[in-house]
């Protein structure tokens, strides 16, 4: 298994980008309303051109996040701690990334975009009560065999120190990559057979609503079966990041360490309710000797139908 | 990874005088509405009667239950108070899943060996028929909030959080808390990894029923079991089962693994109710009272395995514990006359034996120089085990210790040479407890 390639190496938005300071993190509810309204108008026409803009919010006070963090930890199975898990930092920065995607000049529709993969790195532990700078932008529009894919980058800084980088790669089906962008070269899906499970997750019909409540991502495909049907799914689907965050929690703070990389690649969506068989294994045993950390995979119980795979690697 | 065991310090002996249990009964049958305390008190009372312990102050009574209601916080002490032992007999609860009974025995025999106490009873009880039912987490949170609220308004507000679906009770399961796989599913993964066949498992189950039935017929259990609630024998026992009948059963575990499922209701233990107790003491204490001494409780070892991320099977800890225990006591598998390996599932016995025969496994996982060895199958669970008798979790240890003690006593009497039994019990949480019992 190879980890999804991480595009980000240098922190901060490219030099050519215009950095817009916002007074505070936007609220997701309003952004979704904008996204819903704006999505209809964003149709494939010509090559995709991303706005060269980054949003930044300084002095984000996390003191008031204690209850939110506790709710997140309870839902995902993270032990109670004042250190914010990578999944929580993703949730924290998500509204700012969403704000980029609902801009009028962002050419892809917020609703209907498919989350392909996610790579996050915690480079320094972030604690409850620390004041943070959060920034987000979009980059790397490139061809995918079914359209165009784009990276939404989110960063969290404590003081001037980069503490977290997240790269969320989304697919917009039917769109055309900008001229000159090299195709991603997605190989056809490899044959895959389910390994022996190490865990089994029974996900109830309320799983999407529960994660929606702690993440703010109330996308109707996750929260209601009617909403999911509107986008062509037979039932509501679990948030991919919920499954990845659960795997991260299961590895746990002791084994992932203070600084770590957490990746996930999504395949077939998890329909709710549903049972997901999971194998969360030592990378040294599952991949090759000497490999650090953990690899995880999830699939539909009893079927060779894979939902996700990823890694948790101490840095 | 392995360190040289330090020599066992010399202490005085802890001896086994005898045991008593009630017949084990399949869940939902004879012992419906019978509590853990009822059952353990019955097992205790039978032991007291058998050895004339009425009014006696014992050093202590230790035991427990795996499925326990919070109101049973002092289950064993309450059982003692309801027995004819002196009310000045101290007691405490132990819980180590299916190893509870054996762990309780390890604890009390260590105190006897150290001279802290002269006599003790260890045992356990479990009921699935009378298992505690728990309210949902949301209902519990609302009730606690209401309880903590100062004003009536705040109390009502707290209770208004409750939704109809929160009223559904949460029934106890055998799922591992970290993996959410049931014990059977975990063992199915281990079974698949070791490639244990359906036929081999059914044979273990068949032998268990045959051996237990023969032991009952021969009167082996006459002084080990007291009838209870109209039951005189273990009602899970199927002397008339056959390999053909066992072969017809549908697999119930491992049906979603993509490998042929092999574990059935026939080669897995059923949910069972029951209780057991074993009397231990110093040699002097037994001799002063003219009580018989069946065997010595020589030594014990516990182990745990890293099962959460699939490195090792959930129920494989005894595979690691036994080599450590035998090495510390200068013993090998050849020195053992009886192997009492708890049949959580037929395949648990088989994966444990397969592990000991596997050179690579023994080297890398157990830190041995080569394969630990192969056991003589004719010495395995000779009077039946959990597949036939049933497995009331915490009561199994006591059942096995009493059986093992009686077996070695009889063997030594017959041959004039010392006889030894190895006891091995696997448990949830990747735990295992093992012990050696030897004739006196």
Domain closes at, from A186, A210, A239: A186
Contact A200 B309 (CB under 8 A): no
- The string over A199-235, giving b where at least 16 C-beta atoms fall within 10 Å of a residue's C-beta and e elsewhere, is bbbebeeebbebbbbbbbbbbbbbbbbebbeeeebeb
Kindly list the distances between the CA atom of residue A117 and the CA atoms of A46, A166, A171, A307, B364, in Å, as whole numbers in the listed order. Answer: 25, 11, 10, 12, 37
Contact B181 A301 (CB under 8 A): no
Q: How many residues are recorded in chain B? A: 440
Contact B310 A285 (CB under 8 A): yes
Contact B311 A199 (CB under 8 A): no
B183: nearest CA in chain A?
A199
If asked whether residues A168 and A193 sit together in one domain, one would say no
pLDDT more than 90, % of chain B: 85
- Cα–Cα distance for residue pair B324/B342, rounded to 1 Å: 18
If asked whether residues A7 and A49 sit together in one domain, one would say yes
- Cα–Cα distance for residue pair B64/B73, rounded to 1 Å: 10
Inter-chain CB pairs, A–B, below 8 Å: 47
CA angle, corner A60, sides to A140 and A152, nearest 5? 10
Is the pLDDT score of B200 beyond 80?
yes
CATH number at residue A21: 3.10.129.10
Residue-level pLDDT at B358:
98
B181 touches chain A (CB under 8 A): yes
Looking at per-residue confidence, does B277 or B155 come out higher? Answer: B277
Residue-level pLDDT at B254:
95
Contact B185 A282 (CB under 8 A): no
B165 by Cβ neighbours in 10 Å (0-12 / 13-18 / 19+) ranks as exposed
If asked whether residues A182 and A243 sit together in one domain, one would say no
pLDDT tens sequence across B337-369: 999 999 999 999 999 999 999 999 999 999 999
With beta carbons under 8 A apart, name residues in chain A contacting B186: none
pLDDT tens sequence across A17-40: 999 999 999 998 888 888 878 887
Average pLDDT for chain B: 94
Task: Pick the residue of A67, A77, A200 with the most B CBs within 10 A to test the interface with B by mutation.
Answer: A200
A302 touches chain B (CB under 8 A): yes
Q: How many residues are recorded in chain A? A: 315
Global confidence as pTM = 0.91
B28 touches chain A (CB under 8 A): no
- Cα–Cα distance for residue pair B110/B116, rounded to 1 Å: 9
If asked whether residues A162 and A271 sit together in one domain, one would say no
Domain closes at, from A186, A204, A233: A186
Residue-level pLDDT at B5:
63
Partner residue opposite B256 with nearest CB, options A198, A199, A301: A301
Name the residue among A152, A72, A155, A95 with its Cα closest to residue A121: A155
If asked whether residues A163 and A295 sit together in one domain, one would say no
Partner residue opposite A196 with nearest CB, options B255, B257, B308: B257
Task: Pick the residue of B310, B314, B430 with the most A CBs within 10 A to test the interface with A by mutation.
Answer: B310
**What is the H or E stretch that residue B391 is in?**
none
Tokens 């080669």 identify what position?
B267
The model's confidence at residue B134, banded by pLDDT at 50, 70 and 90, is: confident
B191: nearest CA in chain A?
A196
If asked whether residues A245 and A292 sit together in one domain, one would say yes
- Cα–Cα distance for residue pair B321/B302, rounded to 1 Å: 6
A283: nearest CA in chain B?
B309
pLDDT tens sequence across B53-93: 999 999 999 999 999 888 999 999 999 999 999 999 999 99
- Cα–Cα distance for residue pair A157/A60, rounded to 1 Å: 10
A300 touches chain B (CB under 8 A): no
Domain closes at, from A156, A186, A216: A186
With beta carbons under 8 A apart, name residues in chain B contacting A193: 258
Name the residue among B33, B6, B19 with its Cα closest to residue B104: B19
A211 touches chain B (CB under 8 A): no
Q: Which domain holds residue A241?
A: 189-315
If asked whether residues A172 and A199 sit together in one domain, one would say no
pLDDT tens sequence across B254-296: 999 987 899 999 999 999 999 999 999 999 999 999 999 999 9
What are the tokens at B100?
């509870």
Kindly list the distances between the CA atom of residue B69 and the CA atoms of A65, A270, B262, B355, in Å, as whole numbers in the listed order. Answer: 36, 36, 34, 37
Is the pLDDT score of A3 beyond 80?
no
With beta carbons under 8 A apart, name residues in chain A contacting B181: 197-200
What are the tokens at B248?
């017809």
Tell me the CATH number of domain B183-221+298-439, given options 1.10.3720.10, 1.10.287.990, 3.40.47.10, 3.30.1330.20.
Answer: 3.40.47.10
Q: To the nearest 10°, report the CA torsion of B153, B157, B158, B159.
A: 100
ipTM: 0.86
Task: Give the mean pLDDT of B111-135.
Answer: 92
Catalytic residue numbers of B read 98, 391, 426
pLDDT tens sequence across A225-266: 898 998 889 999 999 999 999 999 999 999 999 999 999 999
With beta carbons under 8 A apart, name residues in chain B contacting A201: 180
* CA dihedral sign of residues A57, A63, A68, A74: positive
B188: nearest CA in chain A?
A196
Residue-level pLDDT at A1:
40
With beta carbons under 8 A apart, name residues in chain A contacting B185: 197, 200
If asked whether residues A175 and A254 sit together in one domain, one would say no
With beta carbons under 8 A apart, name residues in chain A contacting B256: 277, 301-302
- Cα–Cα distance for residue pair A150/A168, rounded to 1 Å: 8
Residue-level pLDDT at B164:
77
pLDDT more than 70, % of chain B: 97
Domain count across chain A: 2
pLDDT tens sequence across B158-188: 888 888 777 777 666 668 999 999 999 999 9
With beta carbons under 8 A apart, name residues in chain B contacting A282: 309, 311
H helices present in B52-136, as ranges? 75-81, 100-114
**What is the H or E stretch that residue A31 is in?**
helix A28-39
Per-state percent for chain B, helix, strand, coil, to nearest 5: 40, 20, 40
If asked whether residues A164 and A238 sit together in one domain, one would say no
């Amino acid at each position: 298994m190879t980890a999804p390639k991480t595009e980000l190496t240098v922190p901060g938005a490219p030099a050519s980008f215009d950095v817009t300071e916002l007074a505070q993190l936007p609220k997701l509810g309003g952004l979704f309303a904008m996204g819903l309204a704006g999505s209809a108008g964003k149709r494939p026409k010509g090559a995709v051109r991303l706005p060269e803009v980054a949003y930044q919010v300084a002095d984000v006070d996390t003191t008031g996040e204690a209850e939110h963090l506790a709710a997140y930890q309870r839902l995902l199975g993270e032990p109670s701690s004042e250190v914010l898990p990578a999944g929580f930092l993703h949730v924290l920065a998500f509204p700012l990334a969403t704000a980029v995607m609902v801009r009028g000049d962002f050419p892809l529709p917020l609703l209907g975009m498919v989350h392909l993969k996610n790579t996050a790195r915690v480079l320094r532990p972030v604690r409850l009560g620390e004041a943070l700078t959060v920034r987000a932008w979009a980059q790397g529009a490139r061809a995918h065999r079914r359209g165009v894919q784009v990276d939404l980058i989110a960063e969290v800084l404590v003081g001037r120190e980069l503490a977290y980088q997240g790269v969320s790669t989304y697919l917009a089906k039917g769109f055309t990559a900008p001229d000159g962008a090299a195709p991603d070269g997605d190989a056809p899906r490899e044959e895959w057979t389910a390994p022996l499970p190490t865990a089994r997750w029974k996900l109830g019909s309320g799983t999407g609503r529960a994660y929606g409540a702690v993440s703010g991502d109330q996308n109707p495909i996750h929260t209601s079966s009617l909403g999911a049907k509107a986008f062509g799914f037979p039932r509501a689907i679990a948030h991919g990041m919920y499954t990845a965050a659960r795997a991260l929690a299961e590895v746990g703070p002791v084994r992932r360490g203070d600084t770590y990389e957490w990746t996930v690649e999504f395949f077939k969506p998890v329909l709710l309710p549903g049972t997901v068989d999971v194998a969360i294994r030592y990378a040294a045993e599952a991949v090759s000797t000497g490999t650090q950390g953990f690899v995880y995979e999830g699939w539909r119980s009893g079927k060779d139908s894979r939902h996700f795979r990823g890694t948790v690697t101490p840095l | 990874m392995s360190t040289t065991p330090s020599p066992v310090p010399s202490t005085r002996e802890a001896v086994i005088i005898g045991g008593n249990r009630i017949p084990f009964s399949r869940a939902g049958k004879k012992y419906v509405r019978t509590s853990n305390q009822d059952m353990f008190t019955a097992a205790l009372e039978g032991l007291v009667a058998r050895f004339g312990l009425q009014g006696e102050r014992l050093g202590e009574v230790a035991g427990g239950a795996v499925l326990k209601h919070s109101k049973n916080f002092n289950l064993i002490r309450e059982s003692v108070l309801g027995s004819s032992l002196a009310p000045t007999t101290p007691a405490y609860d132990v819980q180590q899943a299916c190893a509870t009974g054996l762990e309780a025995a390890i604890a009390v025999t260590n105190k006897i060996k150290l001279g802290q106490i002269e006599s003790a009873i260890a045992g356990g009880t479990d009921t699935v028929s009378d298992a505690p039912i728990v309210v949902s987490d949301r209902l519990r949170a609302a009730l606690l909030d209401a309880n903590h609220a100062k004003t009536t308004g705040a109390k009502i507000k707290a209770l208004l959080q409750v939704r109809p679906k929160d009223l559904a009770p949460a029934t106890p399961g055998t799922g591992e808390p970290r993996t959410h796989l049931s014990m059977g599913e975990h063992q199915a993964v281990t079974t698949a990894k070791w490639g244990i066949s359906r036929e081999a498992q059914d044979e273990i189950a068949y032998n268990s029923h045959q051996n237990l039935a023969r032991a009952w017929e021969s009167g082996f259990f006459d002084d080990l079991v007291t009838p209870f609630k109209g039951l005189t024998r273990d009602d899970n026992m199927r002397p008339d089962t056959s390999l053909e009948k066992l072969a017809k059963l549908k697999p119930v575990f491992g049906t979603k693994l993509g490998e042929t499922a092999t574990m059935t209701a026939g080669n897995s233990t059923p949910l069972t109710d029951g209780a057991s107790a074993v009397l231990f003491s110093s040699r002097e204490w037994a001799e002063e009272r003219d009580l018989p001494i069946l065997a010595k409780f020589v030594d014990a070892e516990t182990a745990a395995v890293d099962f959460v991320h699939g490195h090792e099977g959930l129920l494989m800890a005894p595979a690691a514990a036994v080599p450590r225990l035998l090495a510390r006591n200068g013993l090998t598998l050849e020195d053992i006359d009886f192997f009492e390996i708890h049949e959580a599932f037929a395949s648990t016995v088989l994966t444990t034996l397969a592990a000991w025969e596997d050179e690579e496994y023994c080297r890398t996982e157990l830190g041995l120089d080569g394969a630990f060895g192969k056991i003589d199958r004719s010495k395995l669970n000779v009077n039946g085990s959990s597949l036939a008798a049933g497995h009331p979790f915490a009561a199994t240890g006591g059942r096995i210790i009493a059986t093992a003690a009686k077996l070695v006593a009889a063997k030594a009497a017959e041959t004039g040479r010392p006889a030894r039994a190895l006891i091995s019990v696997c448990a949830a949480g990747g735990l295992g407890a093992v012990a050696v019992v030897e004739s006196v």
